[in-house]
Chain A
Amino acid sequence: MAEKSVSEPRILAFCCRYCAYAAADLAGAMRLRYAPSIRIVEVPCSGRVEVGEMLHAFERGVDGLMVAG
């Protein structure tokens, strides 16, 4: 992740392809405004996300993490 402003939180979101990712897509299409803090990783299902992977994200320095499905 590129370092820009330290103050802007960096949040990683694991999004299910069929629900949350599609919702994010729609949000884009609807031109909804939301914080630029989010980085989305598309997963086939939110059940796919493992605790180990979430911990690795924190180890690498994310400030917050969302699992959305």
Chain B
Amino acid sequence: MADLLDQIGLGGERVRMVNLSSAMAVQFAEAVEAMTETVRELGPNPLRDAQHTE
């Protein structure tokens, strides 16, 4: 999947798989924070601009 996103040109880092148990609330919050940080660095999905100008 990440590979496909790379081929498309969106960036494979935009997708992430996380393994959690139901008791791992703290890890869940951390994963969300980490993902948000990664995505913030990558910038918005470039398809969005293309979409909104249509």
Contact = CB atoms under 8 A, between A and B. Distances in A.
Interface of A: 6, 9, 11, 13, 18-20, 22-24, 26-27, 29-30, 32-35, 37-38, 46, 51, 54-55, 58-59, 61-69
A34 B32 CA distance: 7
A54 B1 contact: yes
Given A27-B28, A55-B4, A63-B14, 20 more contacts: A9-B36, A9-B40, A9-B44, A11-B39, A18-B22, A19-B21, A23-B21, A23-B25, A23-B27, A27-B29, A29-B25, A32-B28, A32-B29, A37-B35, A62-B45, A64-B16, A65-B16, A66-B35, A67-B18, A68-B17
B32 A35 contact: yes
Contacts, number: 115
A64 B47 contact: no
Interface of B: 1, 4-5, 10, 14-33, 35-36, 38-40, 42-45, 47-48, 51
